[in-house]
Amino acid sequence: MQKRAIIVEGGSMRGIFASGVLDAFMEQHYLPYDFAIGVSAGASNLIGYLADAPQRSFNVITTMATDKAFFNPIRFAKGGNLVDVKWLWESSIERYPIDHDRLFNNIPMYAAVTDIDTGHADYHRIQPDTLANVLEATTALPIAYRDTPCFSGGCYTDGGVADSIPVRKAYRLGARDITVVLSHPLSYEKQTIKYPWLVKKLFSQHPNIAKSMMVRAKNYNESLEFIKNPPSDLTIRVIAPPEEFSVKRLTMNKAALSKGYLIGKQAGQTHMENIFSGS
């Protein structure tokens, strides 16, 4: 039987687009997939989707990710975290609880993380005993989050460092029909790092992370190429923001975020209409 998968990219506050897409899916009880893979904010969005918690991700992004307890440049300047992803996860679970039975009896979900020793991507299946650790690790932006999540014998940083759009992983897992929810318009291409010497200096204690950062743009653009020119036995369906999408990685304006959410919701509805009509 042909496996179907959904991949959700990260992108910090740009994840508001995917939250709208997935809320549109939930309204129609649309979950035709055999497994899911999320990266960073995309993993957080998938938790809400698979737990069938409409508007949870929207609320977390607009009421909590905009809070200075999460994003705080002054704290960062004093040696603390620019973004406190552990606080965000723990506080959001208290404020917006999820149905664990529904989440863990749903389709398998994997989150991409980056091993700080090897610099390579690992893909951890979400389990009740590792949920908090995996979500902290996949969203642990290098430099911006100074703690290093360690569990299951490894230490990790943000999954987007090694594999921002894990379509090739989904293909290796047997998926032959993949829906990809992107955070940028499909025309986007990641630019190579301008100051490699600075990256090497910043990650001097973890040289393989520095190497991954150096080739991140190459890997990202190769994933986009795979999406645009998939193998002959693979169908890829792309849901991406429009060219004029205005939400950026660190957009904190709630009106802009709400607009981005509605754009995502419309994109999700259009995707389902196209599926149902056979187009």
119: left (phi over 0), alpha (psi -120 to 50) or beta: left
Looking at 23, 84, 158, 163, which residue is catalytic? 158
At 141 the three-state DSSP class reads: coil
SS3 content of the chain, % helix, strand, coil (to 5): 45, 15, 40
Q: What is the pLDDT of residue 195?
A: 78
Q: Indicate which CATH number applies to the domain containing 51.
A: 3.40.1090.10
Q: Structural domain tally of the chain?
A: 1
Calculate the alpha carbon distances from 118 to 87, 181, 208 in Å.
27, 27, 6
pLDDT by residue for the chain (279 residues), tens only, comes to 679 999 999 999 999 999 999 999 999 999 999 999 999 999 999 999 999 999 999 999 999 999 999 999 999 999 999 999 999 999 999 999 999 999 999 999 999 999 999 999 999 999 999 999 999 999 998 888 988 899 989 999 999 999 999 999 999 999 999 999 999 999 999 988 887 778 788 888 888 888 988 889 999 999 999 999 999 999 999 999 999 999 999 999 999 999 999 999 999 999 999 998 876
Residue 262 token pair: 């509605």
Q: What is the pLDDT of residue 87?
A: 95
Calculate the alpha carbon distances from 243 to 56, 184, 240, 278 in Å.
26, 8, 9, 25
Kind and range of the H or E run holding 154: strand 154-158
Is beta strand 175-181 parallel, antiparallel or unpaired with respect to 154-158?
unpaired
Q: What are phi and psi of 155, to 5 degrees?
A: -125, 145
Which residue in the block uniquely carries the two structure tokens 């290093």? Answer: 148
Report how far residue 273's alpha carbon sits from residue 262's, in angstroms, rounded to the nearest whole number.
16
Domain that holds residue 87: 4-278
Q: What is the pLDDT of residue 279?
A: 65
Kind and range of the H or E run holding 27: helix 16-27
Looking at 12, 19, 40, 164, which residue is catalytic? 40
DSSP letter at 192 equals P
Whether residue 99 lies in the annotated active site: no
Whether residue 277 lies in the annotated active site: no
Contact 90, 154 (CB under 8 A): no
Report how far residue 173's alpha carbon sits from residue 20's, in angstroms, rounded to the nearest whole number.
27
Candidates 250, 262, 148; CA nearest to 206 is 148
Report how far residue 67's alpha carbon sits from residue 206's, in angstroms, rounded to the nearest whole number.
31
Q: What is the pLDDT of residue 1?
A: 66
